């Protein structure tokens, strides 16, 4: 992911730091609203939403990615969809 800053492996504990605007996540948690405006940012937010078990936010992010799917980002969308097992997005990425 573009937003992964570092991965630290301590024995069996894996700590992954991600770089996203936490204010976006907190705002969503408390208000149920989020402003999604960039393909790369949405990928990072979706990664965090999956990690912190926010399924409604994952769905919002996935819908945004479907709408913002163009030839210029189809490979990135496919890579993202494969990593997070988003079958519909993978198929749409292949169609573009």
The enclosing domain of 14 has a CATH number of 3.30.710.10
Question: What confidence tens digit (pLDDT) does each residue in 41-65 have?
Answer: 898 899 889 888 999 999 999 889 8
pLDDT in tens, the chain (96 residues): 444 444 555 565 555 556 666 778 888 989 998 888 888 889 889 988 988 899 999 999 988 988 888 888 888 888 888 888 888 888 888 887
Phi then psi dihedrals of residue 3, to 5 deg = -90, 0
In Å, how far are 46, 49, 54, 70, 84 from 78, measured between CA atoms?
A: 14, 18, 22, 11, 10
CB 2 within 8 Å of CB 43: yes
Q: Which range marks the domain in which residue 18 is found?
A: 4-95
CB 43 within 8 Å of CB 76: yes
Three-state secondary-structure class, residue 32? coil
Domain count across the chain? 1
């Amino acid at each position: 992911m573009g937003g992964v800053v570092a991965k630290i492996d301590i024995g069996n504990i894996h700590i992954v730091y991600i770089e996203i605007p936490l204010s976006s996540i907190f705002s969503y948690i408390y208000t149920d609203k989020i402003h999604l405006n960039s393909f790369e940012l949405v990928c990072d937010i979706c990664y965090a939403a999956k990690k912190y078990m926010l399924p409604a936010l994952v769905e919002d992010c996935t819908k945004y990615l479907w709408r913002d799917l163009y030839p210029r980002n189809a490979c990135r969308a496919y890579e993202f969809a494969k990593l997070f097992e988003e079958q519909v997005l993978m198929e749409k990425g292949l169609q573009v």
